[in-house]
Amino acid sequence: MPEPQQKTIIWDWNGTLLDDADICLASINTMLKARNLPLLSLESYRDVFTFPVIEYYKKVGFNFSLEPWEPVAMEFINLYLHALPTSGLTVFAVETLEKFKNNGYRQAIISAMQHDELIKSVTNLGIYPYFDFIGGIGDHYGGGKIENARNYLAQSGIDPSQTTLIGDTIHDSEVANELQCNCILVATGHQSIPRLRETGRRVIADLSGLNHDLLDHA
């Protein structure tokens, strides 16, 4: 009989391994304040954040008939990148990565963060060696990561049925649907627990709730 294929974890980055919800909130509030728009709390941010991100901006009051989308997106990115060095990893991230590495899992990051910034961020936080692959996108406008993930699985010869995507948003569940792989959502990031539960996926409070049995039954 052939040996079972090595199991793979695809990690989302922002909000899943990187604890950056607070700097996203501060950045968008700076922009809202400059436009005399209502500010967000962390709770209200998690209730409205969505993909594609332009729809989230519209929900919080931006009017793209008055100003174009691309400069607004870059304004956020500049604020975000200025604050990024202050962000650390989510609670239990290192312990979880170490646990799955020691148990023979292949681990990758697929992110909607711009690729060079992603590599820099992962490296600066000291966890680069845990991953067989790290893939971001080519621009700052919050495009999809489905194609990157699909290409990674295909080029690496990875069976989606032996793969679990771990993320923090409804979009991560949608990515997993497209890949036909398992998915677990963690409530440390950019969307609220009630919204995550609407996907029907397993939702955990933080990465301490992640174990082998959970991956097998995601």
pLDDT for 3 beyond 80: no
For residue 76, give both structure tokens: 């956020």
Reported as a single tens digit per residue, the pLDDT across 31-83 is: 999 999 999 999 999 999 998 899 999 999 999 999 999 999 999 999 999 99
**Which residue's structure tokens are 């060696």?**
129
133 DSSP β-pair partners: 108
What average pLDDT does this structure show over 79-95? 97
What average pLDDT does this structure show over 89-112? 96
Reported as a single tens digit per residue, the pLDDT across 116-175 is: 999 999 999 999 999 999 999 875 544 468 888 999 999 999 999 999 999 999 999 999
Which pLDDT band, with edges at 50, 70 and 90, does 4 fall under?
A: low
164 vs 217: CA distance, rounded Å = 10
Q: pLDDT value at position 212?
A: 66
Reported as half-sphere exposure (CB side, CA atoms, 13 A), residue 104 has a value of 5
Q: Do 96 and 210 form a contact (C-beta atoms < 8 A)?
A: yes
Q: pLDDT value at position 202?
A: 95
62 vs 48: CA distance, rounded Å = 13
Greater pLDDT, 211 or 1: 211
Q: pLDDT value at position 139?
A: 52
**Which residue's structure tokens are 């301490």?**
208
pLDDT for 106 beyond 80: yes
* ∠ CA 133-111-80, rounded to 5°: 130
Reported as a single tens digit per residue, the pLDDT across 172-193 is: 999 999 999 999 999 999 999 9
Q: pLDDT value at position 195?
A: 97
Environment class of 125 (CB within 10 Å of its CB; exposed 0-12, middle 13-18, buried 19+):
middle
Q: How far is CA 35 from CA 52, 68, 145, 163, in A?
A: 22, 14, 31, 44
